[in-house]
Structure 1
Amino acid sequence: MALCRRKAISLACYAARLVNTTARTHNKLVRLPSLIRKNWISLSVCGGLCAIPVVQDKVSHEVLIRRASSLVADSANTYLSQTAFALVDSLTQYTKAIHTLITLHKRYVENINKLNPAEEDEIWQVIVRQRQELIDRREDCKQFETIWMIASNLSQVAAEAAFNAGADQASVTTQTNLQMAQSHVKQAQQCSLEAEWELKNSKAEDSKRLQSVLPKAMGEEEIPEAYLRED
């Protein structure tokens, strides 16, 4: 009987401690939302939550905005550099494709009367593939030019935002990077324009010129549609 009483007393003490612990835990959980609201701002984007720490003690709104504008400028610079590199690279590859096609066509015209049908067909297929590569490269340039324009506009806005927020260094850096990127892109575009002019003068994409230099024995042969197609 005494043993049962001791067990009952022990169980009661354990229950009391458990209740006290639960109460303390509940109080902490009750205070937690207010702490979260004080130190964090939650943003919902497409159903996802992104918690951004904001230290409010002794920091003004102006300082926080200036820091945020610097981060925006840094991101805009990264986006600009990537798009500029992609566009310059695509323009460079496009220019190379043009010069390759011009060279192939020139050699084809110079040696057409010296080639047997098998050799001529082989060279012709190379020309057709090269022209298709040129078309693909041209489409890449158009795609990256669109993205480049977006990146340029974004950098201009980011530079202006940083300047208005007082982040002068971030604004100057963004403007400098934009000017440098524009210079590289302009140079690559100029090279591609010069190559296109050479391509036009070479008649490498002129189907009539190709027909006129074909041997009479092949005068009635159909020129592959892929080469005759105009862009």
Structure 2
Amino acid sequence: MAAYRRKLFAAGLSYAASLLSSGGSCQAGRRLFLLPGIFRKHWRTLSVTGAICAVPFLQKPENLSHEDLVRRASSLVTDSANTFLSQTTLALIDSFTGYIKAVNILVELHKQYEASISKFTPEEENAIWKVILGQRQEVIGRRKNCTHFESCWMTAVNLSQQAAEAAFNAGADQASVAAQSSLQVAQSQVEQVKQLMLEAEIQLKDSKAEYSERLQVALSEDEDIPDAYLRED
């Protein structure tokens, strides 16, 4: 394809050169003035030709109309969009579920720590605190995971909406209805789990497990805590 384009481009330049070399000075001047338009015309032709060569058009079957082919293509688009949506929905729900579990563990650990802190030896307190710090980092990682998959899921939602609309406009009503139904189910499932996640975050905030007094003291005293436990970015 690149060689073909170069030949057409060279042919255009040769044609332009022949215009400049033929006729008198006035005629040559007029043709020189028209040269940019001629060049753009040939370049547009080249671009269109290249684009057409790049698209793998299929021969239209004799017994199918263009409308039939468009409807069939729109159905394929909705199938692909539904697959993408289902996979991203599953990934998002799993990430939300993992995050909720990590939050609940952190809250419970912090509760046990505060309830029994007076009974711990310094060594036991430090050991338990390291476990809490590790769980806090787990929560941070899970939260980032949720953000990543939620972005993918929103892209899938938008794609499904566009696919459903395209199918409807193409006359593929059944494919459009199926896409809208899948979208509604996915949104409902995500909303249910997201509500549980919000409830878990409220418990986390109330427990102050992520920003406890013990953590603030450790920060103020520059205690030897790995940076990974303290960063959220």
TM-score by length of 2: 0.70
Question: What residue is the counterpart of 1:75 in the other structure?
Answer: 80
Question: What residue is the counterpart of 1:13 in the other structure?
Answer: none
Q: Which amino acid aligns with 2:61?
A: Q
How do 1:34-183 and structure 2 match up within 5 A? 44=54, 51=56, 53-183=58-188
- Percent identity, aligned pairs only, is 58
SS at match of 2:106: helix
Q: Which amino acid aligns with 2:110?
A: H
The answer as to whether partners of 1:203 and 1:209 remain within 8 angstroms in 2 is: no
Match of 2:211 among 199, 206, 209: 206
After superposition, what is the alpha-carbon deviation per residue over 1:56-75, rounded to whole angstroms, capped at 9, x for unaligned? 21211000000000000000
The answer as to whether partners of 1:102 and 1:204 remain within 8 angstroms in 2 is: yes
Separation of aligned partners in 1, 2:129 and 2:100: 21
Runs of 5+ unmatched residues, structure 2: 1-51
Cα deviation for residue 104 of structure 1 reads: 0.4
**Superposed CA RMSD:** 2.5
The answer as to whether partners of 2:140 and 2:232 remain within 8 angstroms in 1 is: no
Change (3 A) 1:180 1:99: same
The answer as to whether partners of 2:78 and 2:164 remain within 8 angstroms in 1 is: yes
Separation of aligned partners in 2, 1:230 and 1:69: 43
Q: Which amino acid aligns with 1:182?
A: Q
User: Who wins on radius of gyration, i.e. which is larger?
Assistant: 1
Separation of aligned partners in 2, 1:187 and 1:92: 11
Question: What residue is the counterpart of 1:222 in the other structure?
Answer: 223
Cα deviation for residue 225 of structure 1 reads: 6.3
Cα deviation for residue 120 of structure 1 reads: 1.4
User: What count of residue pairs does the alignment treat as equivalent?
Assistant: 180
Runs of at least 4 residues off by over 4 Å: 50-53, 209-212, 225-231
TM-score by length of 1: 0.71
